Amino acid sequence: MNDMTPIQKSSPKDWETDQEVRWCPGCGDYAILKAVQRTMPELGRKPEDTVFISGIGCSSRFPYYMETYGFHTIHGRAPAVATGVKLANPDLDVWIITGDGDALSIGGNHTMHLLRRNLDCQILLFNNEIYGLTKGQYSPTSRVGTKSPSTPFGSVDRPATPCAFALGSGARFVARGFDVSKHLPDVLKAAHAHKGAAFVEIFQNCIVYNKDVFEDFAAPKGAEARQLWLQDGQPMLFDDGNKGIAMDMDTLTLKVVDVANGDWQSAGVIVHNVKNRALAHMLVEMPFGEFPMALGVLYDDPRPTYDSAVVEQNAKLSEGKTPDLQALISKGQTWTVD
Amino acid sequence: MATAARSIDTQSQADIPHPEAVVVRFAGDSGDGMQLTGGQFTLSSALAGNDFATFPDFPAEIRAPQGTLFGVSAFQINFGASEIDTAGDAPDVLVAMNPAALKTNVKDLKPGGLIIADEGEFNARNLAKAQYDVNPLEDGSLGKWQLVHFNISQLTMDAVKPFGLGNKEALRCKNMWTLGLALWMFDRDREPIIQWLKDKFAKNPVLADANIAALNAGHAYGETAEIGNPGAVAIPRKHVDAAPAEPGLYRTINGADAAAMGLVAGCQLAGVKMFFGGYPITPASSILHALARFKEYGVTTFQAEDEIAAIASAIGASYAGQLGVTSSSGPGIALKTEAIGLAVMTELPLVIVNSQRGGPSTGLPTKTEQSDLYQAVYGRNGDTPLPVIAARSPGDVFDCAIEAVRIATQFMTPVILLTDGYIANAAEPWKVPDMSSYKPFPVSFLDHVPEGGFKPYGRDNKLARPWVKPGTPGLLHRIGGIEKEVDTGHLNYSPANHQAMTDIRKGKVDGIAAHIPAQDVCLGTEGGKLAVVGWGSTFGPIHQAVRRARAKGQDVSHIHVRHIWPMPTNLGDLLRKFDKVIVPEMNTGQFKTVLRDQYLIDAKPLNKVSGQPFRIHEIEAAIEEALA
């Protein structure tokens, strides 16, 4: 799908529509939109070959602001619509824009099956841990104790971890970023480069209903100590190289270790390997606070895609056969009346 | 596959009776293979040149406990020397493979009808399971019928003994023994069935031989009984002559296969590829099964994770430039409803096939009903009009599917095609149509910016908006379920715009009425004392009942409506030409209500909601009453 034909390179402006953007002033969605529009010219695909498909929610207005083909569908069903789009036209570059409620609550089933099938597309899950468009109810990713109109005394149910859900569903690419991060375009590029379903969780600040809920790790001040940006083949270092992630061999769990004089090897710091699925499981489950927030490409190990398998089987079974409708309807147990 | 030329001259013995039509019901335990027996007997009827209609009636349970009343599976066939419209009211012959099959079916048998029972299964255990205190074969309780019984189980075991099968496997051949006997009873050729068995068990020739031996043994039993072999029970024999039929190539067809082939045909006539998104549900799954094999016809099938994903993927495919199709039954259609609204709002072509079954909720999964008409016509949030078509018989599904594809692609709208469990499973002879006689209706994708600029929600003279494939340069646009601005398709909630778009959506669907055939009277006159108005699979019993009533000199006509929404423009005027209108339906009066609403006529209901098709005499009685 990603065969590039040399085209005149577009600019971010070419990916902007004339539509007025209708998110709340200060919403994290603006930063994500900018990051996507900035990334698109780098990907070598034309706007007309690109489709943005969304469900329902604040994030799902996204397609209206992208100068591409776009489909704003119904709540939770974007993955299913995207599956039909991709199977009917495998040459299209398909992006799914969704939120925590859309992808994990009403649409959890579709998200799971799209990942399991490995449809070649990018899924950008804007996680703000709240229902924004319906005015602030707690969501499936809200932390225990979240006070909201529907949980005035605090929520009591445990949240889902989107990246753990994705891995559990069989995802072959899992990454994390956040709205205002300068690394977000790199994460998006990596997602696009992955052939197959690429799952990207983007922490997004809902300034009206869940303001600064990610501030503990996303705030620029002290970020180096709270963010672990993962890079394939590089040691898992953070806090300006003073700390790292190592393996506790007694408990087979991850631990934070101090690194003295840049000697991460003797501190036992792990080298990130995006193809290590077991490690990815541990990274997505690292409890923040005790650990930094794992960001960037956590897992990337492609496998044949669903759409290519469908196309291949359809082609193989049609090979050498001429579709003859008259013959088809004349099949079976027949008789002739003279 | 066997192709047999029908021979019109009857080479059967002159001394056996030649009735006009016969109704046979095979009934047994779900594991007894009655559907297979019925299916092959149907084939044999077709090859004998009879007209026929069948009615398979089986439990919802896959393997219901053996011998139980609820585990009985039955297959009825009505075959005749003249036109057959229904599977028949009451059987002339009942084959009962166990006590439960006898108990649940014998009450339907015509007085004087023939019971053939496998006495080998009438043991204490099975009698108890069927809640018989005494053996009905012995207590005289079946006195108003002719009864013959012999040990089919033992006779089958004896016949297949040389093949060294286990007891269980040997007994499985019982249905072929029974079929062999039935073939003898109705003077039929065994050869096509033998060929079929050889094909079916090509990988296991021993099983093929055993089944053929059982078939032959059943046939021989009839023969030897006739010549008075001591110990054998004589069985009456009949020959039903071939029915007059238009020359041509015929095949048997059920509604599910007709839907699959009709959809393929429609897509070829439209010049588009088909994407089918489905989710398993009884009785609609067979359409998915059939289409999954049609890869070389440009069909992609997708078994989705649920009903919602099935239709959503089909909508996605339509957006991407193929024709999206989905199919289900009532409960599944209910789940798809929100997405149907999306297809209406985004004005994308889509075909939704509903093989209706008994409702509400899970209802009667394997039984037939017509109770999803309101759901089809009205069952969505908002003012959400869409065209609805109903097929009247298995063969008619083929043409209705083509019509659904035509309307969907020409008017950029989802279309609901109603069939039902009866149509989906029942088989009838079908004259294979000449595909070159169908007029193509090629779709045109917009591929350039038209004069005056590109308007995603601009309209042609049928009010259809342009169909644009993503990937087309210069026509980038966004669609969605949120209200769209007239012409531009931008987001717009303004009061005037919503009014305008609502009016356009309604106007477009209403306007389809000008592009469908005028309503005809399929039997009778254009006006008179009484019109019996039907839709869907009630066609057969209504048609036969009206034919009989007219033969008695009664002033009654049959009007059958295929286009449920919008209705033909002349329908109201036509109905007003009758003093009375009755509407037989397998629901509590849904089409009757729609007719009353649309035309302010006093349409009277005739309702049956038992999971069983109408019987001809039930409609005849209603005609009598209306004319009295």
Exposure on the CB side of residue B392, measured as CA atoms within 13 A: 18
What percent of chain B stands above pLDDT 70? Answer: 96
- From B534, B540, B399, B559, select the one nearest B84 (Cα to Cα): B540
pLDDT in tens, B519-563: 999 999 999 999 999 999 999 999 999 999 999 999 999 999 999
Residues of B in contact with A63 (CB under 8 A): 478, 480
Dihedral of alpha carbons B249, B250, B251, B254, sign: positive
- Between residues 41 and 60 of chain B, which touch chain A (CB distance below 8 Å)? 43, 46-47, 49
Beta-carbon contacts of B489 under 8 Å, excluding residues fewer than 6 positions away, are: B455, B456, B457, B477, B478, B479
User: What does the pLDDT read at residue A335?
Assistant: 87
Q: Chains A and B: how many Cβ contacts under 8 Å? A: 223
Mean pLDDT on B348-370: 94
Mean pLDDT on A204-220: 96
Do the Cβ atoms of A325 and B268 come within 8 Å? yes
Mean pLDDT on B442-470: 97
In this complex, the residue of B5, B306, B398 whose CB is nearest that of residue A336 is: B5
> Cβ distance B147 to B117 under 8 Å?
yes
> Cβ distance A79 to A114 under 8 Å?
yes
Please tell me if residue B132 touches chain A, with a CB cutoff of 8 Å. no
pLDDT in tens, A37-67: 999 999 999 999 999 999 999 999 999 999 9
pLDDT in tens, B281-311: 988 999 999 999 999 999 999 999 999 999 9
In this complex, the residue of A70, A109, A333 whose CB is nearest that of residue B252 is: A333
- From B139, B55, B61, B46, select the one nearest B105 (Cα to Cα): B55
Dihedral of alpha carbons B325, B329, B331, B337, sign: positive
User: What does the pLDDT read at residue B578?
Assistant: 98
Model confidence at B509: pLDDT above 50: yes
Query: Whole-model pTM above 0.95?
Result: no
Please tell me if residue B312 touches chain A, with a CB cutoff of 8 Å. yes
Burial B442-458 (b: 16+ CB within 10 A, else e): ebeebeeeeeeebbbbb
Q: Residue B584 in 3-state DSSP? A: strand
Do the Cβ atoms of B478 and A335 come within 8 Å? no
CB atoms within 10 A of CB B204: 11
Q: How confident is the model at residue B230 (pLDDT cuts 50, 70, 90)?
A: low
Do the Cβ atoms of A336 and B246 come within 8 Å? no
Model confidence at B217: pLDDT above 80: yes
Q: Which residue out of B313, B449, B468 would a mutagenesis test of the A interface target, given it has the greatest number of A Cβ atoms within 10 Å? A: B313
Distance from CA of A149 to the nearest CA of B (A): 25
Give the H or E element holding residue B124: helix B124-129
Residues of A in contact with B261 (CB under 8 A): 325, 328-329
Cα-to-chain-centroid distance, residue B608 = 18
Do the Cβ atoms of B321 and A89 come within 8 Å? yes
Do the Cβ atoms of B435 and A325 come within 8 Å? yes
Model confidence at B314: pLDDT above 90: yes
Model confidence at B325: pLDDT above 50: yes
Beta-carbon contacts of B455 under 8 Å, excluding residues fewer than 6 positions away, are: B466, B487, B488, B489
- Between residues 40 and 69 of chain A, which touch chain B (CB distance below 8 Å)? 46-49, 51, 53, 63-64, 67-69
Distance CA B115, CA B93 (A): 6
Q: Residue A337 in 3-state DSSP? A: strand
> Cβ distance B446 to B458 under 8 Å?
no
Do the Cβ atoms of B275 and A338 come within 8 Å? no
Do the Cβ atoms of B470 and A47 come within 8 Å? no
Two structure tokens written together for B26: 């095979």
Do the Cβ atoms of A112 and B482 come within 8 Å? no
Paired strand residues for B118 = B150
User: What does the pLDDT read at residue A15?
Assistant: 97
Residues of A in contact with B470 (CB under 8 A): 48-49, 51, 69, 85, 89, 92
User: What does the pLDDT read at residue B4?
Assistant: 42
Distance from CA of A47 to the nearest CA of B (A): 8
B-chain residue closest to A324, CA distance:
B297
CA distances from B153 to B75, B168, B172, B315, B319 (A): 20, 11, 9, 53, 58
Please tell me if residue B292 touches chain A, with a CB cutoff of 8 Å. no
Q: How far apart are the first and last CA of chain B?
A: 52
User: What does the pLDDT read at residue B3?
Assistant: 42
| Maximal C-alpha separation, chain A | 97
Distance CA B187, CA B359 (A): 41
Burial of residue A129 (CB within 10 Å: 0-12, 13-18, 19+) is buried
DSSP per residue, B375-393:
HHHH-SSSS----EEE--S
Place of tokens 């050498």: A320
Within A14-53, residue ranges assigned H as helices are 28-39
Burial of residue B95 (CB within 10 Å: 0-12, 13-18, 19+) is buried
Mean pLDDT on A110-136: 97
